[in-house]
Structure 1
Amino acid sequence: MNKTRKFLFLLIASLSLFWNCQNQTKEEKKAEPEQIEGSEKQVLEETKTLSLPFVAVVDNETTQIEIQENPQKSKVPLNKEELAEALNIKYPEIYLKVDKISHDTLSVNIPNATYLTQQAGTTGAMTYLAEATYAFTDLPKIKVVRFNFKEGDHAVPGPYTRNSFNKKNL
């Protein structure tokens, strides 16, 4: 019985210590933004979310893609890495990596494009390419997104601009 009491005491003490450390960590994290100098910087950091600035909406009757501003987009512009992460979150089966910028062109790689090129269908592939293109061309000085991946039935690699998704070009 004495060993059981010691065990229970140690277990309760350990859990209490663990719980108090967790609560303290959360309180410290809440206090961090107050320590940042400049209220403007604090506001910017609080309003940044990883959501794409544009979404593609497909007309069910015509299957035409229309690009619309995302009402849930971040109030703070995202950089190229954050846009890639937002795409990877929205489309986990299509992993995109940012490569390099050359003049007005951003190169991106999709190492395994099987889902994009073989399984998403033509409309699904075009929706993805349109959203990615519009997201990256929302960056200053980027006018072209060069997609590098293995060609398939529903998607072709190469340079895309916003004009690539005009109704007359689809």
Structure 2
Amino acid sequence: MNKGFKIFGLGVIVLVILFFMWTKLPFTINRHSDIKLGNKINCQIESYRKMNGLPESNDWNTLKKFGFIDHLDFLEPEYQKLNENDYQLIFIEGFDGPYLMWNSLDKKWKIDQPRFPDSWMKHKLENRDLIESKKIWSAEFDTISSNFYMKEINSLGSQTLNQVIEKLNGENPKIQIVLNRISNDTAFVQINDSEFLTEQCGTTGADSYLASVIYNLTEFKNIEYVNFDFELGDHATPGTYSRTDFTKF
């Protein structure tokens, strides 16, 4: 009896260790079957849209023909049409992300939060609270101290968050930010092509740009932080920042 109990206990320990090791493997390995299914579905969607355009998010009859698994009240993976040209696939697990997902913008599998459809974001941004202090900020260079500082340059009036981002992109054509979503007190932005920011601006130039984005977006009611998603480089690091991270400005 004692020997059997020891063998059973040892077996449980081995299973726990194996499970822990499995969860630590790269998602490309332990989620291989999901990725394989998703890639098969992607091929079907791409073939379909050449003749018909992207299917709508609620067109289950069409989606099931592509290989989506029908669970009666939802399809696996979840399909969302972002706009007329782009879509995403999401393997939903639990109530909170991040999830295993793929979208036609990045064209790669990753563990991340889903993007919101453009129609939803347009409504969200157009109805966002106006900037409380009606300020817009710019990072200016002081030739005497050789440092950057934040300067209020004009009143925003009734501009929306979307208009502020368009203004930032207009002033920095080589660095284009996209607002993915707003969650609680954080604005999540993405820079798809970040080489100029991370490799060509220098550390001070990159910091001044990030500070400019942060100061302008946190002028909006209830936004305290900005999460930047871009490829890590020599002069800038992705992550979540607030004004307190740029007190030197």
Give the TM-score range, shorter chain: 0.5 to 0.7
For 1:20-169, list aligned pairs within 5 A: 53-71=136-154, 73-76=155-158, 78-167=159-248
56-65 vs 86-95, which deviates more? 56-65
Q: What is the CA–CA distance in structure 1 between the aligned matches of 2:199 and 2:145, rounded to whole Å?
A: 22
Give a deviation string over 1:50-91, Cα, whole Å, max 9, x none. xx80011122354432111113x4222x32211111111000
Q: Partners of 1:61 and 1:158 in 2: how far apart?
A: 31
Contact 1:133/1:162, CA 8 A, preserved across alignment: yes
Please tell me the residue identity of whatever aligns with 1:55. Answer: S
State the one-letter code of the partner of 1:75.
G
Paired with 1:108 and 1:118, the residues of 2 have a C-alpha distance of 19
Once residues 104 and 123 of structure 1 are traced to their aligned partners in structure 2, the CA distance between those partners, rounded to angstroms, is 27
Q: Sequence identity of aligned pairs in percent?
A: 36
Structure 2 runs not aligned, ≥5 long: 1-134
Mapped to 2, the partners of 1:63 and 1:100 lie a distance apart of 36
Q: Return the alpha-carbon distance in structure 1 between the equivalents of residues 179 and 165 of structure 2.
A: 7
Letter in 2 for 1:84: I
Q: Distance in 1 between matches of 2:146 and 2:227?
A: 24
Q: Distance in 1 between matches of 2:141 and 2:213?
A: 15
The alpha-carbon distance between structure 1 residues 105 and 58, as it changes in their structure 2 partners (threshold 3 A), is same
Q: Distance in 2 between matches of 1:109 and 1:139?
A: 18
SS, match of residue 53 in structure 1: strand
Looking at structure 2, the residues matched to 79 and 99 of structure 1 have their Cα atoms a distance apart, in angstroms, of 15
Kept in 2, the 8 Å contact 1:63–1:123? The answer is no
Is the 1:53–1:135 contact (alpha carbons within 8 Å) kept by the matching residues of 2?
A: yes
AA at the equivalent of 1:83: V
**CA–CA distance in structure 2, aligned partners of residues 99 and 63 of structure 1:** 35
TM-score, scaled relative to structure 1: 0.63
CA distance in structure 2 between the partners assigned to 1:55 and 1:79 by the alignment: 17
AA aligned opposite 1:56:
A
RMSD (Å), alpha carbons: 1.6
Higher relative contact order (CA 8 A, sep 6+): 1
| TM-fit CA distance, 1:114 | 0.3
8 Å CA contact 1:79–1:139 kept in 2: the answer is: no
Higher strand share: 2
Residues 136 and 54 of structure 1, relative CA distance in 2, 3 Å threshold: same
CA distance in 1, matches of 2:204, 2:151: 16
Counterpart-to-counterpart distance in 2, 1:111 and 1:70: 28
In 1: Cα distance, 2:196 partner to 2:205 partner: 10
